[in-house]
Structure 1
Amino acid sequence: MLNEEAQKTEESLNKSSKVCKYISILLKIIFAIFCICWMLSIGVMTFGLIDPSLANRESAMDVPLLILYLAHGVVIALLLAALVGVFSGVAKGESPFVMAQVKKLRIIAGLLLLYAIIDNVIAQNNSLIIFSGLNSGYVSPNSNQIIQINFAPFIVAGVVYAFSFVFKYGVLLQEFSDETL
Structure 2
Amino acid sequence: MPDFESLYKTYYMKIYSYVMTIVKDSSSAEEITQKTFFKALNVREGQQYRGDSGEYTWLASIARNLAMDQFRTQARQGSMPEQEPADPDADTDIRVEKKNTVLQIHLLLHRMKEPYKEVFQLRVFGELSFREIGKVFSRTENWARVTYHRARLKLQEQMDQIDREDENRNERK
Fold conserved between structures, TM > 0.5:
no
Larger Cα-atom Rg = 1
TM-score scaled by length of structure 1: 0.36
